[in-house]
Amino acid sequence: MVIAIDMLSGLSRTKALESTEEALIVPIATPLLVDPGTITTLIVVAAAHGVLPTLIASVLASTMVYLTLRFGKLLLEVAGRNVVRSIGRFMSVIIASISAEMIHSALLEWGFFAR
């Protein structure tokens, strides 16, 4: 929720890079793409829908992520910075709504609110 609110406000909690070489020190994309949450989601979806649909969806999602990362610079040039920022803000609203739902569900499960 905090990350989504930060994205919506446009304020950054991180310090600015002094040079572009600093960004190459830590490959941050890998832990963000495949973290314990992703693995947990795959296990839950595989149990609910079966292994084959989960595998097909995973390959499709991996292909889309690869294409986005591979052609990101071209996509930025074609779409423009305003479109990319708009999509980012829209996705932050989705992230905020998912986190609000998770918080609400947890509070219901803990018995803070009556159903």
Q: What is the pLDDT of residues 41-67, one digit of tens each?
A: 888 889 999 999 999 999 998 899 899
pTM over 0.75: no
Higher pLDDT, residue 5 or 74: 74
At which residue do the structure tokens 């995973």 appear? 58
Whole-angstrom distance, CA of residue 70 vs CA of residue 2: 29
- Which of 48-52, 68-72, 86-90, 94-98 is modeled with the greatest confidence? 48-52
Domain ranges of the chain: 1-33+79-115, 34-70
